[in-house]
Amino acid sequence: MEQGCFTALITPFNKAEELDRQGLEQLIDFQIQNGITGILATGTTGESPTFKWKEHDHVIALTAKQTKGNCLCIAGTGSNNTQEAIVGAGHAAEEGVDAILMVDPYYNGPSSLEIRKEYYEVVAKQYPDMDIIPYIIPGRTGAQMLPQDLAILSENCPNITSVKEATGNFDNMTLTRKYCGDNFNILSGDDALVYEMMTHPEINACGSISVMANIAPKSMARMVTLLNQGKKQEALKIQNALKPLLDLVVVTTQEDTKNYGPVTCRARNPLPLKTMMQVLGMPSGPCRKPLGKMTAKGFEIVLKTMKQVHADTPDIFKPIAGFFNVDIDERL
């Protein structure tokens, strides 16, 4: 995969939690018009854990068709079942996607060695012409392929030349660069760390698979481009303007249970993002259960932050206003 900014696209639903096809098509066009390098369909942000495989394949097919000739298309096809991952990869290959993203197997807890040998290598050798991007996010999976096994994997499988790095662990990132070499592509999977990962001399990430590019594709893509050009100061200005939004990937509040004291509530991606998109007048709809709605406190944090960003840097939401024909001032 080439360097750049890829949007981890949401999947818009209607009130019945069914796919909003027209909304999906609009969101893809919005991304293309704002210069994104590529689109990731059916990732975590796209709520793939809630999909039946027929839905999963349908969203990939629609996205692959619409992006063809306009931007790159990545399909999320990972699983905690290797045979299922093979089937998903096969469908993505049939649809002509440019790459697949495979998350480390979740819940059943394989070792790093098992993840490499019994999962990634099996799929990579089954589809040698398909670019495969391992997705390392132990905070969601409870398992992790370590940099040592990633390096062996990239040596054994020529179609694995990139990783989506979302460990949040800079020691892990530096080891990945050390073991995998200078020609291996590290893509940030954490919006808040993109700037640091791309400017760190021992990491040298070359791009991002971004959540907030759903609402700020032009700004995110510009920042990544500037960083790849070595224009750190120009990129830092964009990073500073975006930072309040980037910090909203997870929104943490203290909620009162009345009789049992306060509890910590963490609204995780894509819930804060979809909430913002609804406020801004973009196709989004609800999250599928078991994700629910933002609490009143959480919504207040989101709205306050959006107002601040719009007041400080109105150009960030300007592409939304033009494409979706909405008045941002009125909506905020």
Residue 261 covered by a domain: yes
Q: How many CB atoms are closer than 10 A to CB 65?
A: 13
Q: DSSP labels for 25-46?
A: HHHHHHHHHTT-SEEEESSTTT
Judge whether 221 and 276 are in contact, CB under 8 Å.
Answer: no
| Angle 47-49-50 from CA coordinates, rounded to 5° | 75
Q: What does each C-alpha distance from 188 to 63, 124, 207 come to in angstroms?
A: 22, 22, 6
Q: Which of 119, 164, 218, 274 is catalytic?
A: 164
Residue 56 covered by a domain: yes
Judge whether 160 and 153 are in contact, CB under 8 Å.
Answer: yes
**Is there a single domain that holds both residue 167 and residue 211?**
yes
- The 10s digit of each residue's pLDDT in 17-33 is 999 999 999 999 999 99
Q: Which of 119, 120, 135, 195 is catalytic?
A: 135
Residue 151 covered by a domain: yes
**Is there a single domain that holds both residue 98 and residue 216?**
yes
Question: Is a pLDDT exceeding 70 seen at residue 1?
Answer: no
**Is there a single domain that holds both residue 22 and residue 160?**
yes
**Is there a single domain that holds both residue 186 and residue 62?**
yes
Residue 236 covered by a domain: no
Query: For the chain, what is the domain count?
Result: 2
- The 10s digit of each residue's pLDDT in 240-284 is 999 999 999 999 999 999 899 999 999 999 999 999 999 999 999
Residue 312 covered by a domain: yes
**Is there a single domain that holds both residue 180 and residue 213?**
yes
**Is there a single domain that holds both residue 286 and residue 310?**
yes
Residue 195 a catalytic site member: no
Burial of 117 (0-12, 13-18, 19+ CB in 10 A): middle
Among residues of the chain, what percentage have pLDDT more than 70?
Answer: 100
**Is there a single domain that holds both residue 179 and residue 306?**
no
Among residues of the chain, what percentage have pLDDT more than 90?
Answer: 99
Judge whether 52 and 309 are in contact, CB under 8 Å.
Answer: no
Query: Helix or strand or coil: residue 206?
Result: coil
Task: Check residue 208 and give its pLDDT.
Answer: 98
The amino acid that residue 244 corresponds to is: P
Q: Which domain-ending residue is among 231, 265, 288?
A: 231
Residue 79 covered by a domain: yes
CATH number of the domain bearing residue 173: 3.20.20.70
**Is there a single domain that holds both residue 289 and residue 142?**
no
Residue 238 covered by a domain: no
Task: Check residue 2 and give its pLDDT.
Answer: 75
Beta-carbon contacts of residue 173 (< 8 Å; ≥ 6 apart): 165, 167, 186, 197, 200, 202, 203, 205
Question: Which contiguous run of DSSP H or E holds residue 150?
Answer: helix 147-156
- The 10s digit of each residue's pLDDT in 126-164 is 999 999 999 999 999 999 999 999 999 999 999 999 999
What length is written for the chain? 332
Judge whether 249 and 191 are in contact, CB under 8 Å.
Answer: yes
Question: Is a pLDDT exceeding 80 seen at residue 43?
Answer: yes
**Is there a single domain that holds both residue 218 and residue 267?**
no
- The 10s digit of each residue's pLDDT in 215-244 is 999 999 999 999 999 999 999 999 999 999
Residue 251 covered by a domain: yes
**Is there a single domain that holds both residue 257 and residue 162?**
no
Give the global pTM.
0.96
Domain extent at residue 197 = 4-231
**Is there a single domain that holds both residue 145 and residue 71?**
yes
Question: Is a pLDDT exceeding 80 seen at residue 57?
Answer: yes
281 φ/ψ angles, rounded to the nearest 5 degrees: 85, 25
- Greatest alpha-carbon pair distance for the chain in Å reads 58
d(CA 90, CA 86): 6
**Is there a single domain that holds both residue 125 and residue 220?**
yes
Query: Which of these, 110, 88, 112, lies nearest to 100 by C-alpha position?
Result: 88
CA 39 from chain center: how many Å?
A: 9
Residue 107 a catalytic site member: no
